Amino acid sequence: MKTKINALVVDDSMEFTSSVEKYFKNNADIQIANVLHDGNEVVSYVKEHQNEIDVILMDLLLPGKDGLAILEEFKNIGIVKHVIILSSYRKEYAMKLLDKFDVDFFMLKPCDLTSLEKRILEIVQVKDKENSSSKVRLSVEMRITELLHTLGVPSQIKGYQYLREGILMLYESASYIGGITKEVYPEIANRFNTTPSRVERAIRHAIEVSWNRADYNTMNKLFGHSIDYDRAKPTNSEFMVTLSDTIRLENNARYAYL
């Protein structure tokens, strides 16, 4: 079953909050979780219901505690939520102060509720997708690091960093597999302000070090029969492609059960 986006409305205008509640009453994607009219209630409410709120729709001018003070307190105690400011107050210095906080959007009141609906969907769905992608990338980076350490690649040599970049590139785009020399090395060189030939040599050296230090069973498990342990170490391309494929297969198996 599809989960709706939960919105908290913070505004002292009964007329405005009623119109928002009425508009979203039967909305397929968004529902109003609660309405607060006093700024003093906001921080404590959000702390108690963090998992139930996806986006906060808030005016800047509120009784008790204004919107800027609420955002400041959120920042100080580590509350991170999507925030859309809905306000008729648009003084220049207030807009500059808003730049200090991670506000997703500002809409000048009176605002069109159809436009508000679109902004909520864009902000919550698109940004959450970006955050999810960032988490997946971080997980892949950590797995690459783990594999390189397992294979005995010293983290202090240049080839280690180049290998991490190359394996990640191959993981994110299989189109690089046919262009290790013409695409991967130049891109890594550009990122590290060096030359493609130095990247190639540093990676080759890192693999040689790994080949002399890593456990045979570990190497055999990862590379299988694609290499002959007694006679030849894997090429740069074989090494990076094999590790990127290993991580891709692991992740495919993991997400198949989600």
Q: What is the pLDDT of residues 77-122, one digit of tens each?
A: 888 889 999 988 766 766 777 778 878 888 888 888 999 999 999 8
Q: State residue 173's pLDDT score.
A: 84
Does residue 241 contact residue 177 with C-beta atoms inside 8 Å? yes
Does residue 36 contact residue 126 with C-beta atoms inside 8 Å? no
Where does residue 217 rank: exposed (0-12), middle (13-18), buried (19+ CB within 10 A)? exposed
Q: What is the DSSP string of 171-215?
A: HH-GGGGGGIIIIIHHHHHHHHTS-HHHHHHHHHHHHHHHHHHS-
Q: Above 70 in pLDDT, residue 190?
A: yes
- Measured at the CA of 156, the angle between CA 150 and CA 157, to 5 degrees, comes to 90
Spell out the domains of the chain, with CATH numbers in brackets: 5-130 (3.40.50.2300), 151-255 (1.10.10.10)
Helix (H) or strand (E) holding 162: helix 158-172
For residue 194, CA distances in Å to 158, 189, 203, 208 come to: 11, 5, 13, 21
User: What 3-state class would DSSP assign to 56?
Assistant: strand
Q: What is the pLDDT of residues 15-54, one digit of tens each?
A: 999 999 999 999 999 999 999 999 999 999 999 998 899 9
Q: What is the pTM of this model?
A: 0.53
